[in-house]
Chains A and B, each alone.
Chain A
Amino acid sequence: MAILSDKEKLMLKIQSCSFAMKEAELFLDTHPTCAEAIEYYKKHREMNEQYIKAYAEKYGVITMDQQSSDKKWNWVETPFPWERSVD
């Protein structure tokens, strides 16, 4: 197993939470009154929001609406995900 940088570890947490949410979304589409799944979805959404915010502050934006600078368009500062991260 490759040794992950702090940046990669945080991205992996975001990917894990987003995936848990995606899985719950599809389940809820066909089980829309499952309280347990709604709770699971909300728990992961909360964690994901924190990780995404922390990632944007440390390493740059994931979505355009995380723009914070008044001088530079942050969207063009971060790599697109197909670029193999070597940092």
Chain B
Amino acid sequence: MWQYEKKLQYPVKIKEPNPALAKIIVSQLGGPDGELGAALRYLSQRYSAPTREVQAIMNDIGTEELSHMEIIGTILYQLTRNLSIKEIKESGFDVYFVDHTTAIYPIAASGVPFTASYFQSKGDPITDLHEDLAAEQKARTTYDNILRLADDPDVRDPIKFLREREIVHYQRFGEALRKTQDLLDSKNFYAFNPSFDK
């Protein structure tokens, strides 16, 4: 279970609204490599993780991803406050506005709504952990691309924090993979699935 804390993991205080930027950053909420997919991936995979340590890393990184969803939601909320209809039309935000006004809704920047097909929960820890390592790198690349597109330091600052977290998570998942492989047959890691075969 979880307990909510009324604070952000990292502060977000954006002075200037920028709906065009919100249209891009929404991808890290509901896009293919976004925070919602990350949270659901690890929190789904954790049940079939082979050891307490691997269960813990999936549980605790999955939990941190929920707080990253909240940071992205807050960035989107603050980027779309007090907009005029003129600003909405000229920024291209009108295509989002027509369905969601200025509410927060998980879609990719292309407009495709969030789907569970962005992640897998395979029941084989070697498979799941490789997906997790790739997922962290894909999210890091997306944050790199956001940093190429965003000029506002108020936005760049929390985005840089989130980018760094992807790198730390990659490191921890790498350690979880190594620990998993240590339990297996060193001549053939795929000889059996420690989460299914007895």
Q: Show the binding face of A for B, using Cβ within 8 Å.
A: 2, 8, 11-12, 14-15, 18-19, 22-23, 25-27, 29-32, 61-64, 78-82, 84-85
Q: Report if A85-B13 is in contact (Cβ < 8 Å); known contacts: A25-B60, A30-B53.
A: yes
Q: Report if A30-B7 is in contact (Cβ < 8 Å); known contacts: A22-B64, A81-B70, A82-B70.
A: no
Q: Show the binding face of B for A, using Cβ within 8 Å.
A: 3-14, 53, 56-57, 60-61, 64, 70, 73-74, 77-78, 81, 168-169, 172, 175-176, 179
Is the pair B10, A15 in contact by a Cβ cutoff of 8 Å?
yes
Looking at the complex, which one of A11, A61, A79 makes contact with B11 (CB distance below 8 Å)? Answer: A11
Question: Binding site of B, secondary structure by majority: helix, strand, loop or mixed?
Answer: helix
Is the pair A15, B11 in contact by a Cβ cutoff of 8 Å?
yes
* Shortest Cβ gap from B136 to chain A (Å): 12
In whole angstroms, how far apart are the Cα atoms of A30 and B174 in the complex?
A: 10
Is the pair B61, A81 in contact by a Cβ cutoff of 8 Å?
no
In whole angstroms, how far apart are the Cα atoms of A56 and B58 in the complex?
A: 31
Is the pair B6, A81 in contact by a Cβ cutoff of 8 Å?
yes
